[in-house]
Structure 1
């Protein structure tokens, strides 16, 4: 696909990976349809996309509502004539012990992160089947492969996104709709405002778990998939290593993930007040409407990769020692 001529719909476009993806597509000359809950942030992003050489249409959208996705698709087609790429990226999360999180927060994470992708895929596929071609990119996470403690709903949702991609690819193949592609992206930790925005019931501030990669790294991957679709792509060498290790030794790697979340994902120094964050209501317009989250993804990726690699090996050794103690159960 020629990205320069493409019409690209991006959900969760106001900050983080969505914003970086919009700017990268616009810089290639694409027409971008920008969807998120914050209208003013979308207007500002649309202006920036046009300054970079693309065309832009902001559409205030809550992907948790099926009708909003249908409206989004209709506006894209009405304005630009078609939909070549649909990027399902919008997501929310909380950090909480399983029994402490309010069920309303849990349901909302599933509504946005799973049903939002379902709504987006349905809206996109209807249009792409009429056109006979198109690419859907669903942003999952490595936690869809290796679930984390304290993010139960988010981990569930990202596993569901992977399953959705496999199922849709199978249907398209059986129906011989070979010019419609469904791709799944699985990033490691990305430097976005996502962690500041999340709900929190742990009493500990959520921080980005190292190593941290830039949102533009994911954006480059998504643009690359629009050109040359691939079923699943992991973003970040540490993420690739963790997924490989999980497939070779799942129990050990799950123990490593648990230790890493406790040590490096939740601060032991900074407290956090309990609350739902942006799960139900978006952050005010103008607040943290940026791609980066201040976690220094570009500057510190290399040193964090080394430190995290050492910590990962140490944690693996510790987890292995626990599992091999006399009396420990094996599966």
Structure 2
């Protein structure tokens, strides 16, 4: 697989970079000294995110783009190359969706969610590979979710798109392996995150939407995403809740069906009425004129660290340490036996 030797000076593209996980990821790359191209629709959010990247120590380029438009994505990639000469890392993170029962989602809303959340990844991957294959290097990072493996109620459009990304990415990976390509493609699957999406996605829920606890800050995801760019592997899982959801669905999917049917509605709502004038970014960006930042409204409940994510990022070191401890223990046992 390809390796990015150092992030300082690397050219990174992040879609969905104006808010949430995309923004936190762009800032984390900036902190490592990367040049970060921020792709999103909301101009106010983009400009504020670029300022955050520069403050962290990186270079920033804002590129307003709707990732559902393949020609616009291609033009955005071309602009990055014309400005900075190449693309080393491409992070697909942009999405939109609808909080509603399936029967209350209009066909055009489902289509639009799929175009942004699934086809946006397809078009981003196409644009990245057009530059990376000839260069013989590069890493594509797909931002997935526990919901890519375990569907839940009220999010059929999002779950469907995330499931599709897994199948698409696996197919592309096998083609890269067949060609002995040095380009790597990896996935990072996330738990519930404290992002602005719960205040700007189209919602038909009676109450305000919320992530299913436990909730993590977007910086938890960002650290693993940056790690995935430097040490790409097939997939990273962030958070113990992600591990439980994916493994649980493999072992007891029917039981989870019934559990989520019983609990999935209430756990995704705060109990507070949803404002009638809440913005909906499905068709227009919610941060065109107002910056919403990286964090959502759940700072008081969100975790800033994940022991599981840390262990996942450092599994080689932990494995080596475990082997050293085991060897020392065996040596001690052998020494005692020899003295008997």
Query: CA, structure 1 residues 226+284, in 2 after alignment: closer, same or farther (shift >3 Å)?
Result: closer
Which residue, 267, 270, 285 being the options, matches 1:267?
270
Query: CA, structure 1 residues 29+279, in 2 after alignment: closer, same or farther (shift >3 Å)?
Result: same
Q: Is 1:103 matched up with 2:94? A: no
- Deviation per residue, 1:147-184 (Å, 9 max, x gap): 0111111110000111111111101011111x111111
Once the two structures are overlaid, the 10-residue window that deviates more, 79-88 or 41-50, is 41-50
Unaligned 5+ residue runs, structure 2?
Answer: 306-340
Query: CA, structure 1 residues 258+290, in 2 after alignment: closer, same or farther (shift >3 Å)?
Result: farther
Q: Residue 160 of structure 2 aligns to a residue in which SS?
A: helix
Which position in structure 2 is the counterpart of 1:112?
A: 116
Report the Cα distance in structure 2 between the residues aligned to 1:28 and 1:258, rounded to whole angstroms.
43
Deviation at 1:140, TM superposition (A): 1.4
Report the Cα distance in structure 2 between the residues aligned to 1:86 and 1:257, rounded to whole angstroms.
34
- Deviation per residue, 1:188-215 (Å, 9 max, x gap): 1001001111111232321122100110
Report the Cα distance in structure 2 between the residues aligned to 1:26 and 1:76, rounded to whole angstroms.
16
Deviation at 1:284, TM superposition (A): 4.1
Superposition pairs of residues 19-38 of structure 1, within 5 angstroms: 19-38=23-42
Unaligned 5+ residue runs, structure 1?
Answer: 303-331
Which position in structure 2 is the counterpart of 1:71?
A: 75
Q: Residue 186 of structure 1 aligns to a residue in which SS?
A: strand
TM-score, normalising length: structure 2: 0.84
Query: CA, structure 1 residues 11+280, in 2 after alignment: closer, same or farther (shift >3 Å)?
Result: same
Report the Cα distance in structure 2 between the residues aligned to 1:276 and 1:158, rounded to whole angstroms.
23
- Deviation per residue, 1:100-122 (Å, 9 max, x gap): 11211111000001111111000
- Deviation per residue, 1:68-108 (Å, 9 max, x gap): 11011101111111101000000001111111112111110
Asked whether the equivalents of residues 144 and 162 of structure 1 are also in contact (C-alpha less than 8 Å), the reply is yes
Q: Is 1:238 matched up with 2:241? A: yes
Superposition pairs of residues 22-171 of structure 1, within 5 angstroms: 22-171=26-175
Report the Cα distance in structure 1 between the residues aligned to 2:248 and 2:111, rounded to whole angstroms.
31
Which residue, 243, 250, 254 being the options, matches 1:251?
254
RMSD: 1.9
**Larger Rg over CA atoms:** 2
Asked whether the equivalents of residues 199 and 279 of structure 2 are also in contact (C-alpha less than 8 Å), the reply is no
Asked whether the equivalents of residues 29 and 54 of structure 1 are also in contact (C-alpha less than 8 Å), the reply is yes
Asked whether the equivalents of residues 29 and 58 of structure 2 are also in contact (C-alpha less than 8 Å), the reply is yes
Which position in structure 1 is the counterpart of 2:338?
A: none
Q: Residue 13 of structure 1 aligns to a residue in which SS?
A: coil
Which position in structure 2 is the counterpart of 1:188?
A: 191
State the aligned residue count.
302
Report the Cα distance in structure 1 between the residues aligned to 2:156 and 2:38, rounded to whole angstroms.
29
Which position in structure 2 is the counterpart of 1:308?
A: none
Asked whether the equivalents of residues 38 and 62 of structure 2 are also in contact (C-alpha less than 8 Å), the reply is yes
Query: CA, structure 1 residues 298+150, in 2 after alignment: closer, same or farther (shift >3 Å)?
Result: closer
Report the Cα distance in structure 2 between the residues aligned to 1:47 and 1:162, rounded to whole angstroms.
33
Which residue, 215, 220, 223 being the options, matches 1:217?
220
Which position in structure 2 is the counterpart of 1:8?
A: 12
